[in-house]
């Protein structure tokens, strides 16, 4: 089966990029990273690409006068590498409607909260401050809004009393590295169908049961 050519957009450390590269190299996903693009010339994600022999490009905002001309260059770079699916992995820019239209339902993002709770930045700290008992992460298709597109997968983690934003972020990141490759694989298998806001998954297994935090310890009788 042909592997889906993907382009990964990063701005920083790129641990999600690494999880995707590892899954691809191990044959766990039927997708291949064709190019890594960063808006930040010193993003560690660029080193990760280099180490795996993956072409990379740096597109800095200083070289462009408008967001549209920036995104036009981004589209050109991705198309030059034959990218079918755009994967945002910590890319700290909001895409223009023109970019979103160039890859309709072919852009994914990962966000470290259970959307629609806590869109935007610094969300692990916000979940803690709010007193949420559960946090987590969301992989979603990208639409013209911020963290607002149809949801593909979510993973839930408990918030512990002793958590800091760092410990909670680490717990969430473990799940990010599991669900992002999974979402890409579902796309590669052609199993994602978007109807309005809902994403239906062909052959998806329903999740049974529920969890409470703290666990329920009183009996029903
Ligand atoms: C992750 O927390 C992701 O959810 C958010 O940005 C962070 C990127 O981390 N969008 P990394 O660069 O993949 O390590």
- What are the boundaries of each domain within the chain? 4-201
Rounded average pLDDT over 98-114: 98
CATH architecture of 4-201: 3-Layer(aba) Sandwich (3.40)
Per-residue confidence (pLDDT) for residue 221, from 0 to 100: 75
Give 199 Cα–ligand 1 centroid separation in angstroms.
22
Q: What is the mean pLDDT of the chain?
A: 97
Per-residue confidence (pLDDT) for residue 137, from 0 to 100: 98
pLDDT of 132 over the 80 cut: yes
Ramachandran sector of residue 206 (left: φ over 0; alpha: ψ -120 to 50; beta: rest): beta
CA distance 97 to 75: 12
Longest dimension (CA), the chain: 68
CA distance 186 to 193: 10
pLDDT of 164 over the 90 cut: yes
pLDDT of 142 over the 90 cut: yes
Per-residue confidence (pLDDT) for residue 134, from 0 to 100: 98
Q: What is the pTM of this model?
A: 0.97
CA distance 211 to 37: 39
Q: Whose CA is nearest to atom 7 of ligand 1?
A: 90
Per-residue confidence (pLDDT) for residue 6, from 0 to 100: 98
- Measured from the Cα of 176, ligand 1's closest atom is 4
Partnered with residue 58 across adjacent β-strands are 38
Cis-peptide into 214, omega within 30 deg = yes
Pocket test for ligand 1, best of 176, 177, 181 (most atoms within 8 A of CB): 176
Partnered with residue 154 across adjacent β-strands are 138
């Amino acid at each position: 089966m042909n592997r889906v050519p993907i382009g990964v957009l990063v701005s920083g450390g790129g641990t999600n990029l690494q999880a995707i590269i590892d899954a691809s190299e191990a044959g766990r996903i039927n997708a291949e990273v064709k190019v890594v693009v960063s808006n930040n010339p010193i993003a560690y994600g660029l080193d990760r690409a280099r180490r795996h022999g993956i072409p990379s490009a740096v597109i800095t905002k200083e070289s462009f006068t408008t967001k549209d001309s920036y995104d036009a260059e981004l589209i050109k770079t991705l198309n030059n590498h034959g990218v079918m699916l755009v994967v945002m992995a910590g890319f700290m820019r909001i895409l223009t409607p023109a970019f979103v239209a160039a890859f309709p339902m072919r852009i994914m993002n990962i966000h470290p909260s259970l959307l629609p709770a806590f869109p935007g930045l610094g969300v692990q700290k916000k979940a803690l401050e709010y007193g949420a008992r559960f946090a987590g992460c969301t992989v979603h298709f990208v639409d013209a809004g911020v963290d607002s597109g149809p949801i593909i997968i979510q993973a839930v983690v408990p918030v512990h009393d002793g958590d800091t934003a760092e410990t909670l972020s680490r717990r969430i990141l473990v799940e990010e590295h599991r669900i992002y490759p999974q979402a890409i694989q579902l796309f590669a298998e052609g199993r994602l169908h978007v109807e309005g806001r809902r994403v239906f998954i062909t052959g998806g297994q329903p999740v049974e049961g529920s969890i409470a935090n703290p666990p329920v310890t009183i009996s029903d009788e």
